[in-house]
Amino acid sequence: MATQSKTQYLADLHAYLKRRYKPKAASTAARLPVIDAVVYGICHEETTREQANQALSRFKDQFSDWNEVRVSHLGELQEALADVPDPAGRAQRIRRFLRQLFEKTYSFTSLDVLAKKPLKEALKTLQAFEAFSSDYVTATVIQQALGGHAIPIDSAARAALEKLGLHEDDVPTLRGLVERAIPKNRGAEFLELLEDLAHDPAVENDPKAPRWLHQGKPAKAAKEEPAKDAAPKAEKPQPKKATPASEPEPAKPAKKPQPKPAPPAPEPPKKGKGKPDAK
């Protein structure tokens, strides 16, 4: 059986999700202003689109403009985020972004010109803001305001894909894979279906749900990092060297005994030795 590519798997998953959730016909939605898309992304991460839409609507209804939001107390912002998880954290992120924007540009419409610039140039400008440290917010702004192809993925969507066997090292890598598999004209639809999947625990037990069965990452990791308990492979025996260091040095040959030198010959007696000299 041929190994299915991840692109093919995501196409099969898309078809399955359409059958399961029967999405409404996609309507061409108008682009959001960049500042609205940032706030919407902060509200939508780890929540549903209904909760995010309601939060954005309350900001529009309860405040005259974004400058009023900037100077308001956090408690007032949390009221607009009442139905969203972690309203305090989101209120801080929204107000911090608005204050950074005002300090840099003294305007709340200056970012709209980015929609007419090349995507890379626009993103380079936006990366200066702390809100864009979130990959989800970045992808939301690309899709909702800048007209690029992006499919935001939060931790709930990532967990849902992992339960079906699709694992990647991080969210940007996973998002890149999904965006290559799903064309731009289907991006909004797939995002809606992916959100439905993330909040539908029954899918995990559905035998009809397609699963990614060829997970390259775990296999690769196991190959590169074998278990510590695994027995090491036997090494091939190496030929012994002629004189290995561990062997004792050969004994030195015994020296041949040297013959003792002959005693010196006696000197001849001197003349007159032993006799008195004649006077």
* pLDDT value of position 129: 98
Query: Which tens digit of pLDDT belongs to each residue from 44-62?
Result: 999 999 999 999 999 999 9
* pLDDT value of position 148: 96
For the full predicted model, state whether its pTM sits above 0.95.
no
| Residue recorded with tokens 């090491």 | 232
* pLDDT value of position 221: 35
Query: Which tens digit of pLDDT belongs to each residue from 8-40?
Result: 999 999 999 999 998 875 556 789 999 999 999
The arithmetic mean of pLDDT across residues 123-135, rounded, is 97
Q: Above 60 in pLDDT, residue 225? A: no
> Which one, of 78, 139, 64, 132, lies nearest residue 100 by Cα?
132
Q: Which structure tokens are listed for 54?
A: 């309601």
* Residues making up the chain, counted from first to last: 279
* pLDDT value of position 29: 72
- For a pLDDT cut of 90, what percent of the chain falls above it? 70
Query: Which tens digit of pLDDT belongs to each residue from 141-166?
Result: 999 999 999 999 999 999 999 999 99
Burial 27-57 (b: 16+ CB within 10 A, else e): eeeeebbbbbbbbbbbbbbbbbeebbebbbe
Q: What are the chain's domains? A: 1-29+149-223 (1.10.1670), 32-146 (1.10.340.30)
With 0-12 / 13-18 / 19 or more C-beta atoms within 10 angstroms meaning exposed / middle / buried, residue 277 is: exposed
Q: Residue 49 and residue 55: Cα distance in Å, rounded?
A: 10
Q: How far is CA 135 from CA 42, 111, 150, 171, in A?
A: 11, 19, 10, 8
Query: Which tens digit of pLDDT belongs to each residue from 241-276?
Result: 444 444 444 444 445 555 555 555 555 555 544 444
> Which one, of 126, 131, 171, lies nearest residue 40 by Cα?
131
With 0-12 / 13-18 / 19 or more C-beta atoms within 10 angstroms meaning exposed / middle / buried, residue 239 is: exposed
* pLDDT value of position 23: 85
CA dihedral 30, 33, 38, 43 (to 10 degrees): -50
**More confident: 255 or 92:** 92
Query: Helix H segments across 106-212?
Result: 119-126, 135-144, 155-163, 171-181, 187-198
Query: Which tens digit of pLDDT belongs to each residue from 162-216?
Result: 999 999 999 999 999 999 999 999 999 999 999 999 999 999 899 999 998 754 4
Q: What is the DSSP string of 34-78?
A: HHHHHHHHHHHTTS-HHHHHHHHHHHHHHSSSHHHHHHS-HHHHH
